[in-house]
Amino acid sequence: MLAAGCTSPPPPRPPVETPPPGSIVAFTENSSSPLVAFDVRRATVRGVDGAVRSPVASIAGLSGDGLVGVAVTGRGSASVFRVTRTGDAAPIGKALPGPRDAAYHSLAVAGGRAMVADCDAVAVLDLAGPSRWRTVGDGCWAALSPDGSRVAFSPDGRRVFEREIRTGHARPMFDVSGLDLGTGRETRLFGPPSWGPDGIAFTVVSGDQAAFYLARPNGALERLLQERLLKTVRPPVLAWQPNGGLLGAMDDLGSGGVVRTFDPATGAHRVVALDPLAFDGLVWSPDGSSLATLTSGGFLLVVGTDGSWRARVDTTWSSMLGWLT
Amino acid sequence: MAHVSGLRAAPFGWLRRLLVLSRYPAVGLAVFASATILGISAAAAPLFESSVATNVVQLGMRDAGRVLASMTTRVQLADDVVGYQQRTLVDAVRAVPNVGRVTTTLSATGLRVQPADGGRAKSVQLVSRGGFLSHVHVLAGESDANGVWLAESLAGAIDAGPGDAVLIRAGARSATATVAGVYRDLFVGVPDAFWAPLSAKIYPTAEGEAPPPSPILAGRATMLTLSTTLELFGTARWDVRVTSDRSALAYDAASHAAAGVRRLVAEVASPATPVGSALQAPGTAAPVVDVVRDARATRDSIAGPLRTFSIAGVVAALVGLLASAVYGVRRRRTEVRMLDALGLSPAALGARALLETALPVAAGGAVGWLIARIGVAVGGPTALLDPSAVAGSVWQAALAAVAGIAVTAFGTVSAVRAETQPAGTRFRAVARAPWEAVALALAAAALYEILSRGTGPAVSPDGAVHIDAFLLLFPVLFIAGAAGLAVRSLVSGLRRASGAAVRWPVPAYLATRRLASSPRIALLLTTAAALSVGILGYAGTIGRSLDIATNDKARLVVGSDVSVPAPASLRLPPSPGLHPTDVVRVTASPASAPGEITILGVDPATFASAAFWDPGFADRPLGELLRDLGRGGTSLPALVVGSSASVGEIDLGGFAIPVTPLERVRAFPGQGTGSTLVVATPVLERILASHGISLDSVGVTFLVWVRGPVARATAYVEGLGLSSSAVRTAAAFVGAPRFRAVSSTFVFMELLGVLAAVVALLGVVLYLQARHHARLVSYAMSSRMGLTRGGHRVAVFLEIGSVLFASAVVGSVLALVAGAVLSPWVDPFPALPPSPAFRPPIPLFAAIAVAVPVTGAVAAVIVQRRTDRANVAEELRYAG
C-alpha cells in the first residue's frame, strides 16, 4: 500500500508504434471528393470514385473484398454502397427513402445484410440480392447479429426484441427499464446496440447516470461500467473487435470524450484515449489491433488496444466509415 | 663523474635521462613544486565551478523535495481514466534522464462521512498520496490494513476506529469503507514537506478559522475504488522525482534532466502527444529547470574570476619552471660545460632537457591535479563533481604539463647558451630586476579600475552578478609586489645583522649566518609563503565581511530571521529564546504628490527585540525612535526611510492623515523598495478608528517576525497555524545565487590560498633539502666547537621559523590592508544597506599564528634527526 501511488518508469520504448495496414475510408468536407481512403501505414490519401454524398450518419462493415457502407443523408434516405480495394465506390440497391431527418438512426452491416433504423421502421437490405428494403421491426435502436440472420430492436427504448429475419419470428430478449442505476428514474436505451459473439452491448441512461451493459447470449445482463451522465449530445458508439473478444466504446457522456475497451471475459475495462471535448466515430482495424477515431480537433487518432498511439493525422474529415484491408 | 655518464651510449640511456633530476633533489623539487602549482592552477577552476554549480543544484533540489516536475489536472477520478493518464505520463517520463519515481496524489473535496450504522456526518476530503503512511503519525491501526485512514479529530467526531465501517457520501452517491487506522491530524506539529503540495487542504488559511476538513487518507487502489463508485471529480497530481542516485544531482546530470523535463513539459502541453492528450492541459511546474538555471547563473558568475586565477597561476607556475630550469643549469654548470665542450648541439641539449624534466613535470602536474581534486572535494561546496569537469580538469592539467615541459626545455637551452657564452650574465640581471615594482604598478592600475567605478564592482549593468576580476587581481599583485619589497628590505637587514650576530647566542648567530649566506632562496621562500598567507588572509577577510554584510542585508529585507504573512494581528505567545513581533504593511499615497509610499507599522513594545537592527541605520538608538513613534496624537509620527521627499499627509482608506516626520533614517528592517514611512501600529489603529475604519478595511498585510534560530522560529510560526510554505527566512535569502556566486568566488580564493600554503610548505622542504649539505658541514664544525644538539635544533627552528614568521607577518598585514581597502567594494547588492564592512577573520589569523611556530618546530626536529643520522665524512667526500 505504501508504494501504491508511486510508479517507477520502465525502460524506454518507441513513442509511436507502427500502425496496422489498410486504409480508413472517411467522408471529407471536400465536395469534389467526399469519400477518401487513407492508407494508415503509408500516410497517403486518395479519393474514392463514386457518387456518394456526405452523410449525417454512416457505418460500414467488411464484406467480401471490400467495405459495404450505409449512409444516411440529411433528408433521411439511406443508401448502401460498396467500396473496393481499388478505390471505387458503387451503390448497392436503391436508397431507402426516410420519413424525416434522423441523425441518430441505428445503422449496421453484418453477415451480408445492411440495416437501418430511423425510429419509424427497422429495415434490412440483402447485399447479395439488393432488390428491396424489408421492414423487420420498429424503433430507433436496433442491431444486426454477426451473421446477419437476426435483428434486435427496441420499439419503445425499454424492451428489446429479437427477430429472425428469414422467418420473421420474433421474441422478447430483455427489458432495460428494470435496470437500476440508483437514480430512482426510468432507465432507457441510449444509442444503437452492438451485437457481437459475446452478446449485445448497449448503453442505458437513467437520470444523471449512464451505463454500458452486455446482454449475454444466455439472457444475463451484465453491467460493464456506470458513469455520471453530464450530456446527451449524441449516443456512444459501441463496436466489437474483429475476430476478438474486446468491445470498443466511445462516449462523451461525461466531461470529455473517452475511448475504452471492455473485456467481457474478465470484466476489465481500459481507457485508451481521452479528448477534452469529444471523439467522433470509432472503427476497429481489420486485424483488431487498433482503434481509429476522430478527435475534437479534427485529427485522426489511431491507438492500440494498450492505449499506445499508432498514428495521429490532421484531417478535414467529417466522419469515418470503416477500415478497409 | 657520475653526472656525465649519460654521454655513453648505454642501452636505454634515454630512459635513464628521465631520472637524472633525482640526483639533484633541489632542482627536481623546484621543478616538481612549480609543476604542482601548474597542475593545481590548471585543474582547480573547472573542478570548483562544477562543485559550486552542483551545490546549487543540490540545495535547490532539496528545497524542491527532489521533484523534477509536477503535473496537476482536474479529472474524473475513475480508476481507468487515472490509470490511462498515469500510463501515458510514465511513458513520457521515461525519456527524462535521471528520473526516479512518479508519485501520484489524488484528492477530492465536498464529501461527508458518517458511521455506516448511522450517526453524525462530517465534511471530509479524500486524499491519496503515494507513500503517505510514512509521513503520518499513526495512532491506531496496522500499516498493512486495507481501508481508509481517519484523522484523530475526525475519528473522535464520528466515533469511529480501526475495523469500523464508515459511509462516505458524495451528493446522492455513497460508498462504504473500512477504517484501517487513525492518524494524528496533519496540522498538528511541525509540517512534513511531504504534504506541501496539499497544504491548502490541511492547514487553516486564516487565523481563527477552523482547519479544512481533515482528509481521509487512502491508498491509491482504495481511493480509486471509492472515487469511481462515488463518481468523483478531483485533482490528480503527479510528482516526477529525481532518482535516488546521488550523482543525479551533479550539475551536468541535472542539466540533462532539466532538458528532458523541458521536453516533457512541452509534450504535456501539446494535445498532439499521447501525454498531452491524456492529461488535457494540466498545470505544470518544473523546479529542476529553475534550479539548473540558478546553478548555471552562479557558475557563469564565478567562471570569469576563476579563469583569471587559473591563468595567473599557470603563468606563475611556468615562470617558476623557467626559473627552476635556469637554476638547474647553474647547479650543473660543470656538466653543461663538458657537454658543450664535447660539441653537443643546442637541439640535443634541448632534447636531453625534455627527457630530464618530463617526469618531474608530469608527476608534479598529476600531483597538482590530485591536490586540486582533493582540495575542491574537501574545501569546495560539495565533493560531488561532474565527470565532464573531472575529465576537463585532467585534460587541462595534461596540457599545462606539456606546456610546462616545453617551457622547461626552452629555459634549459637558453640557460645553457648563457652558461656557455661568458658574456651572458642576463639571468643574474633578470634575477635582480625589480619585478616588485611591476607588480605594484599593475596592482595600482587594478585598484584605480575598482575605485573609479561608481556602481559597485560586483554587479553588472543588467543587474546580474559579475565578479570583477580586478577584485581578485589587485590583492594578488599588491601582496606579491609589497611582499617582495618587504622581503628585500628584510634580506638587506639580514645582511647587516649578520655582522652584528657574532655577539648573539650561538643558535641565533648560526640561523642568521645561514639565512644571510643564501639570501635569494630565503627571499624566494619568504615571498612565496607571504603571498600564500596574504591570499588566504585576504580571501578570508573579504569572505567574512561579505558573509556578515549579506546576512545583515537579508535580515534587513526579511526584517528578522523569519517572516510570515498572517491573516490578522495575532496574539504572539512568548517562547524562550525567540523574539516575535507583529508588523503591518500597507501602501498609501502621499496627499501632496503622486506615487505610492509604503507604510510599515510596528509594535513599539516588541519590535526592538525581534527586528534586525544595525546602529548605522539611524543616528539615534532604536529604542528612542520607537518610544517617539508611540507618542502620537491626531498626527501620525513617522520615521522616513531613505531620501524620499518630506511627507506632510498621506491618503489612507480615503482619509487624509497628517504625518509628523520624526527623523530620516538610512535604512529600516522590512523597508519597501520605494519610499517607506515607519509608524507605530497602535497609533495608526487609533487614528484610523477616529475615522471609523480599521486596519483590515485599508487592506493591510499582517506579518509575524521572529528573531531566533531559524528552525525554532519556523516551528513557532507554524505552531500559530500559519502556512509553512509562506515562511520567508533570511537564510533562504542568503542562499540566492547572487550571493552564493560572490561568496563561492572567495571560498575558491581561500582554497587557492590553502593550496598555495601547501606549496609554500613544499618550498620549506625544498629549502631544507637545498641547504642540507651546507648545514651538515656547518653543524659538524660547530659541534666540535661546543654546539649542542639542542642548540642546533634551536638554530634550525630560528632559521625556518624566522622565514615563516616574516612571511606570516608580511602576508597578514598586506592581506588586512587589501581587505580593508576592498571590503566596501565587494557588495553583491549595493542598493541595500549595509555595505560590507572590514571584518578580519580572527580565527584564521590565529590559526596562521599557531601554524608558524609549529611548522618551525616540526622542521627543526626533522632536520636535527636527519643531521644526527648523517655520515659527515661521506657527505664531505661526496661534496668533493
Q: In what order do the strands lie in the sheet with A106-110?
A: A106-110, A113-117, A122-126, A134-137
CB contact under 8 A, A1 and B146: yes
Given a cut of 60, whether residue B241 has pLDDT beyond it is yes
CB contact under 8 A, A295 and B134: no
Please state the separation of Cα B54 from the chain's center in Å.
11
Higher pLDDT, B123 or B5: B123
**Please, which residues bridge with residue A284 across strands?**
A291
- Sorting pLDDT into bands at 50, 70 and 90, what band is B7? very low
Q: What is the pLDDT of residue B3?
A: 41
On whether the CB atoms of residues A29 and A318 are closer than 8 A, the answer is yes
Across B6-32, average pLDDT = 61
Of the candidates B80, B87, B280, the beta carbon closest to that of A260 is on B80
Q: What is the pLDDT of residue B695?
A: 80
Of the candidates B95, B219, B281, the beta carbon closest to that of A1 is on B219
CB contact under 8 A, A272 and B146: no
Which chain B residue has the Cα nearest residue A258?
A: B81
CB contact under 8 A, B94 and A5: no
Across B719-747, average pLDDT = 69
Given a cut of 50, whether residue A15 has pLDDT beyond it is no
Higher pLDDT, B753 or B94: B94
Show residues of chain A in contact with B278, CB under 8 Å: 274
Taking the C-alpha atoms of residue B727 and residue B717, their distance in angstroms, rounded to an integer, is 8
CB contact under 8 A, A1 and B144: yes
Of the candidates B130, B220, B277, the beta carbon closest to that of A275 is on B277
Give which of A313, A259, A324, A315 is closest to A291, Cα–Cα.
A259
Q: What is the pLDDT of residue B13?
A: 56
In tens, the pLDDT along A162-213 reads 999 999 999 999 999 989 988 889 999 999 999 998 999 999 999 989 999 9
Show residues of chain B in contact with A11, CB under 8 Å: 94
CB contact under 8 A, B104 and A5: yes
Q: For an interface test with A, which of B70, B75, B84 has the most A Cβ atoms less than 10 Å from its Cβ?
A: B84
Taking the C-alpha atoms of residue B547 and residue B542, their distance in angstroms, rounded to an integer, is 8
Burial per residue of A167-197, b for 16 or more beta-carbon CB atoms within 10 angstroms, e otherwise:
eeeeeebbebeebebeeeeebbbbbbbbbbe
> A228-242, B204-218, B754-768: which has the highest mean pLDDT?
A228-242
Which chain A residue has the Cα nearest residue B95?
A: A12
Q: B12: Cβ–Cβ under 8 A, 6 or more apart, which residues?
A: none
Across B688-713, average pLDDT = 83
CB contact under 8 A, A270 and B277: no
Give which of A164, A159, A71, A52 is closest to A118, Cα–Cα.
A71
List the grid coordinates of B202: 490541511
Give the angle subtended at the CA of B403 by the CAs of B398 and B404, to the nearest 5°.
90
Given a cut of 80, whether residue B498 has pLDDT beyond it is no
CB contact under 8 A, B84 and A272: yes
Q: What is the pLDDT of residue B143?
A: 79
Q: What percent of chain B has pLDDT over 90?
A: 14
Which chain B residue has the Cα nearest residue A11?
A: B94
| Residue count of chain B | 880
Show residues of chain B in contact with A9, CB under 8 Å: 90, 93-94, 99, 102
Across B307-335, average pLDDT = 77
Across B488-495, average pLDDT = 76
Q: What is the pLDDT of residue B405?
A: 86
Q: What is the pLDDT of residue B769?
A: 65
Q: What is the pLDDT of residue B455?
A: 39
In tens, the pLDDT along B504-526 reads 777 788 777 777 776 666 677 77
Taking the C-alpha atoms of residue B670 and residue B653, their distance in angstroms, rounded to an integer, is 22
On whether the CB atoms of residues B533 and B848 are closer than 8 A, the answer is yes
Q: Please tell me if residue B66 touches chain A, with a CB cutoff of 8 Å.
A: no
Across B322-332, average pLDDT = 76
Across A128-154, average pLDDT = 90
Higher pLDDT, B336 or A284: A284
Of the candidates B80, B221, B274, the beta carbon closest to that of A309 is on B274
Average pLDDT score, chain A? 85
- Sorting pLDDT into bands at 50, 70 and 90, what band is B394? very high
Average pLDDT score, chain B? 80
Tell whether ipTM is more than 0.90: no
CB contact under 8 A, A227 and B281: no
Chain A interface with B: residues with Cβ < 8 Å: 1-13, 15, 182-183, 227-228, 254-256, 258, 260, 269-276, 295, 297, 299, 301, 307-309, 312
Which chain A residue has the Cα nearest residue B131?
A: A2
Across A43-48, average pLDDT = 84
Q: What is the pLDDT of residue B12?
A: 53
Q: What is the DSSP string of B712-729?
A: HHHHHHHHTT--GGG-EE
Across A107-117, average pLDDT = 87
Given a cut of 90, whether residue B395 has pLDDT beyond it is yes
> 3-class DSSP state for residue B363?
helix
CB contact under 8 A, A4 and B272: no
Across B554-579, average pLDDT = 80
In tens, the pLDDT along B835-863 reads 777 888 888 889 888 888 888 888 888 87
Range of lowest pLDDT (B148-162, B292-306, B549-563, B749-763) = B749-763
CB contact under 8 A, B78 and A7: no
Taking the C-alpha atoms of residue B789 and residue B865, their distance in angstroms, rounded to an integer, is 9
Task: Chain B: give the shortest CA distance to residue A276, in Å.
Answer: 6
Given a cut of 60, whether residue B206 has pLDDT beyond it is no
Q: Please tell me if residue B785 touches chain A, with a CB cutoff of 8 Å.
A: no
Across B531-550, average pLDDT = 82
Give which of B285, B286, B267 is closest to B276, Cα–Cα.
B267
For B:143-202, CB contacts with A below 8 A are 143-144, 146, 172-173
Q: What is the pLDDT of residue A248?
A: 96
Which chain A residue has the Cα nearest residue B86?
A: A7
H-helix or E-strand containing A26?
A: strand A23-28
- Longest pairwise C-alpha distance within chain B: 116
Show residues of chain A in contact with B146, CB under 8 Å: 1
- Sorting pLDDT into bands at 50, 70 and 90, what band is B317? confident
Taking the C-alpha atoms of residue A17 and residue A310, their distance in angstroms, rounded to an integer, is 5
Range of lowest pLDDT (B134-138, B378-382, B866-870) = B866-870
Distances in Å between the Cα of B754 and the Cα atoms of B40, B217, B372, B376, B467 are 12, 55, 11, 11, 21
Task: Chain B: give the shortest CA distance to residue A308, in Å.
Answer: 8
Q: What is the pLDDT of residue B445?
A: 86
> A134-148, B178-192, B589-603: which has the highest mean pLDDT?
A134-148
pTM above 0.95, yes or no: no
Given a cut of 60, whether residue A6 has pLDDT beyond it is no
Q: What is the pLDDT of residue B30?
A: 76
Across A12-34, average pLDDT = 73
**Please, which residues bridge with residue A83 across strands?**
A67, A89
Higher pLDDT, B777 or B690: B690
Range of lowest pLDDT (B126-135, B161-170, B821-830) = B821-830
Of the candidates A5, A9, A312, the beta carbon closest to that of B90 is on A9
